[in-house]
Chain A
Amino acid sequence: MDIDRPSDPQVSVVSSDGTMFHTTLKSILLSGTIKDMIEHIGEGGVENMGAIPLQNVDSKTLEIVIKWIEHHKDNIQPTSEEIKDKTADFIDPWDENFLEMDLDKLYNLITAANYLNIPQLLWLSTRKIAMLIKNRTPQEIRSLFNIEDDWTPQEIEAVQKENQWCEEK
């Protein structure tokens, strides 16, 4: 499909709670899920296509996703294979700034990026969570993500013994 044509038609998407958003074809094609869908319809069908319903994404999250895809619509998107080797120096300061959000929003964003299949956005957001987990103690992780400690003292002692191999003494 020719996505480089000069005219970039309007496309509408509807969130799970019924809000409609307008964006452009070029932006929305960053979503692998929607790209596959549009490829099935065929090029001619795009203009006559109605709003695309996105059952799994709420309006707040969809707004964030659209902001991201519109910013990146002209960038060449790396494939999932290329993304695997990426390190922090690939992070665009705009993205860094974009990801400064509450954890709640971030979870929603991850779920949406996963569902819409936007590899680069999924990478940015999961990596952000991974960096919060890295080099933190279990207690720090619990308080950061609000997780209940459900171990009994015997259980945690046994697990600690099993994990002894990698801890400094």
Chain B
Amino acid sequence: MEEDENSLDQFRKQWRRELEQQLDETKSGDSTSQENSATNLFQQAVELEKSKKYFDAIRLYRRALQLDPNIELKIYQASQAHEQTTDDFSQNSSNTFQKELSLESNQICQSAYLPGTIRTGIHISSLPIEVFLLILKYVISSDLDYKSLERFGRVCKGFFLLSRDPELWRLGCQKVWRNNITTPQNPSAWRDMFINRCRVLFDGCYICKITYQRLGENSFQDQFYRPVQIVEYFRLIRFMPSGEVLMMTSADDLQTCVNKLKNLKNISREILKGSYHYQDNHVLVVIKKTQFNFAQKYKRKNSEGENSLTFFLELEIGNTNKKNFAKLTWKNYSVSQVRNGHEATSDYDLRSSTKYPPFIFSHVKSFHNESKGCLE
């Protein structure tokens, strides 16, 4: 690790020195100073284009071309020459590949066919970049399946670059934190935000297993026989990127419970549906359950109003030693009940660690099998 860091550091220093030397060299001539300012303009334009300020970008491109009509080729050659000196792989790898890719933009990846093979069809690399990005939005889909995106990025260098497209990560951040985000200065920081900022995980559910012992009834025949019953049940929570949350409590085996949470179209009656939002590193869950009252059905319309039960859960998001954000610790739990127009709220005592153990995240592969809409 440390050795890697050191060599990386050295590499960076060397790189900087080279760049400075190049700058000095170009400064030396008069005609080169024009080229130099053209280079600057061009690079600014590239930055503007990346941030979608096309109008300003075109203005700068035009000025750069007026100063030096061959500026694009020159920058290309300079970056090519520079790349050949790059043997090490560094954190800035993405920039290096970016140049490589944007230059041969019609070649995202290499076909694995040998050059001699006769092929009638075309290769996936012939698809335009905008189509690739559209495909990736369906890969991520509204489920935010960024794991599949990261895996796609490990296929080859071209795919790696596509997988790091800031827009794909920006959309994810926006979906998770809504308006509660500030645009980072560096577009590549969207990915860091998505990975490191506190949130809940979506590709599975949080499970809390509750076990306690209860003394059973004395046996009628044998006074000394006192059974101890172990009661075991699960509480499961599944968060959705849409801001919805499903919660269920069940004594069934875990597999059955998880399967029930899988099907979102046909939510079974024992599953409670609610919403959640973040407050710093806490997640607040509100679930309202409207009870269907048979007696009410026959009453006049303007009777006491509906009966409802509302659950408030405040959970702290924490890390397990395996995975970030995989643990939810109970902070507050209250239930408020409205019956015949009267409201009563009861808080639960969370000190008993047997009844309120933390929720632990469990990955469920099948939750992300389907591409649910487009990331937007």
Contact = CB atoms under 8 A, between A and B. Distances in A.
A, B from the same assembly: yes
B122 A110 contact: no
Interface in A104-153: 104-105, 107-108, 110-111, 114, 122-123, 126-127, 129-131, 133-138, 141-142, 145-152
Contacts of A150: 109-110, 156-157
B89 A165 contact: no
A168 B138 contact: no
Nearest to A110: B131
B127 interface: yes
B112 A135 contact: no
Interface stretch (B177-185, B245-253, B279-287, B368-376): B368-376
Contacts, number: 142
Given A88-B371, A155-B89, A147 B156 contact: yes
A138 B155 CA distance: 5
Nearest to A86: B373
B127 A111 contact: yes
Contacts of B120: 104
B83 to A, nearest CB: 14
B159 to A, nearest CB: 8
Nearest to A157: B89
Contact of A129 (B109, B126, B135, B372): B135
A137 B156 contact: no
Contact of B122 (A108, A136, A168): A108
A103 to B, nearest CB: 7
A48 B363 CA distance: 62
A83 interface: yes
A149 B156 contact: yes
Interface in B124-160: 124-128, 130-131, 134-136, 138-139, 141-142, 145-148, 150-157, 159-160
Nearest to A143: B112
A83 B369 contact: no
Contact of B373 (A87, A166, A169): A87
A1 interface: no
Contacts of B322: 169
A57 to B, nearest CB: 13
Nearest to B363: A168
Contacts of A159: 93, 153-154, 160
Contacts of A85: 142, 373-374
A126 B155 contact: no
Interface in A36-91: 83-89
B86 to A, nearest CB: 11
Contact of B323 (A122, A130, A137, A169): A169
Contacts of B154: 138, 151, 156, 159-160, 163
Given A88-B370, A159-B160, 13 more contacts: A85-B142, A89-B265, A104-B122, A114-B131, A130-B139, A145-B124, A147-B124, A148-B110, A150-B109, A150-B110, A154-B88, A163-B154, A169-B323
27 contacts: A85-B142, A86-B373, A87-B371, A107-B121, A114-B128, A129-B135, A130-B135, A130-B138, A134-B145, A134-B368, A138-B152, A138-B155, A142-B156, A145-B123, A146-B111, A146-B112, A147-B109, A147-B111, A148-B110, A149-B155, A150-B156, A151-B157, A159-B93, A159-B153, A163-B154, A166-B147, A167-B147
Interface of A: 83-89, 102-105, 107-108, 110-111, 114, 122-123, 126-127, 129-131, 133-138, 141-142, 145-152, 154-156, 158-160, 163, 165-169
